[in-house]
Amino acid sequence: MRASVRSRHSGAAEDHEDPASFYSLCKRGCHKAPKPIETPESKMTLLMAIMTRRRANIGILAYDGALQSCVYGLQEMANIANSFRQCEEEPVIRTAVWRVSASGCVEPDLPSQLLRSDLDFLVLPPVGRGDLPSGPVEPCCSWIAAAHGEGVCLASACGGAFYLAASGVARGRRITTHWSLGEPLAKVCDAAAVDTTEMLLDDGDLITAGGMMAWIHMGLRLIERLLGHGVMLDTARFMVIDPALRPQSRHTSFSPRMDHGDQQVLAVQQWLHANAAADVSLPKIAAMAKLGERTFLRRFARVTGHNPTEYCQRLRVSRSQGLLESSSMSVEQVAHLCGYEDHNSFRRLFKRYLGVTPGEYRMRSAATPGRFTAGR
């Protein structure tokens, strides 16, 4: 995924202070109380309610830039899941697509399709091009909030979480998004707890998925909620999908800002990247920047978002990822090349930032076949 240049920068919110902008709408949405759900269905009772009324309906909101593999893939996944229904009494999953016009209004894709009030879930797909919308979005976000107010559960993937923020339904909730979008989302939606370490968070009426292709696991979760665990597993086996969720953190890479305009800090960053394994001390790098230590710390943290110690740790862990993926060196050798004499300290830092040990990371990065058996 190409992360939006605007989204990745810590100053992203400041660049979009136009009251009509998407970022401003996200800010306002995250600081207003969400509309009460008029017909709430808890996570524990939703499946029973669906079975009783014999419906299992999923709506997909195809706004500008929505990832088409998600829009169409979820419909195919639902059709496959329906083929594994155990008896006629089980509901059939029906899907419907809504399009967002140039004016921001939501319109049904087909005149005879489901009504919004018929939905059990409304899906907010990833944004394919990496950029957030620049056109009118308030009508669309109001439509999303109204659906939630009618008791529709919302499910977002990747950048779709920004639509949750702008709709006002993420306030006070724990949500996830793509790891590269976590910082800009947290800036415009500081009333929500943004956790990009998780691939999927299921909070009952709000499901959020992290990576751009995490819509696949989100789709399996919707099937599980609508038709049960057995049908979900049958669907996953038939589609050759590993249903096991793994931490999103192991897919992250360290991509610090380098275009902030502070030339003295930039010179230090460039030296650190060229000498990642070198011994680093605050007096040394502050002198390199020709700044006092306290001034350097303040300016470094302001433009990079990290203090120098954390920056160096993340940089070294990022370097070690490449060595673990592409070489046969032992973990101890990798640690030494990345500047760590204490191998245990390296392992602890690696797990802190990526959620797995170096050995686990190497094993999973190798894409060893056979961990998930296709077929029944």
- What's the helix, strand, coil split of the chain in %, to 5? 50, 10, 40
Residues 202, 206, 212, 213, CA torsion sign: positive
Task: Pick the last residue of a domain from 203, 222, 251.
Answer: 251
Domain's final residue, options 251, 272, 302: 251
Q: What are the tokens at 339? A: 């500047």
Q: Would 375 be classed as within a structural domain?
A: no
Per the CB < 8 A criterion, the answer to whether 166 and 141 are in contact is yes
- How far is residue 248's CA from residue 181's CA, in Å, rounded to a whole number? 12
Query: What's the confidence (pLDDT) of residue 249?
Result: 58
pLDDT in tens, 262-293: 889 988 988 898 788 888 999 999 999 999 99
pLDDT, residue 112, reads 75
Both 181 and 328 in a single domain? no
pLDDT at residue 331 in the model: 93
> Looking at the chain, how many residues does it have?
376
- Predicted confidence at residue 150, as pLDDT, reads 85
The whole model's pTM is what?
0.61
pLDDT averaged over 10-residue windows placed end to end, the chain, 376 residues: 38 44 67 46 50 74 92 96 82 92 87 85 83 74 90 92 90 87 84 83 87 93 88 92 69 71 88 86 95 95 91 90 83 92 91 87 61 39
Q: What is the CATH number of the domain that holds 343?
A: 1.10.10.60
Domain contains 164: yes
At 313 the pLDDT is 92
Q: Are residues 99 and 240 in the same domain?
A: yes
Are residues 36 and 103 both part of a single domain? yes
Residue 86 lies in domain: 5-251
pLDDT single digits (tens) 231-259: 998 999 999 998 776 666 555 667 777 77
Task: Give strand ranges (E) for the chain.
Answer: 56-62, 93-100, 106-108, 121-124, 153-157, 174-175, 193-194, 200-202, 206-209
Residue 77 belongs to a domain with what CATH number? 3.40.50.880
pLDDT on residue 2: 39
Q: Which two tokens stand for residue 162?
A: 């920004």
Total number of domains constituting the chain: 2
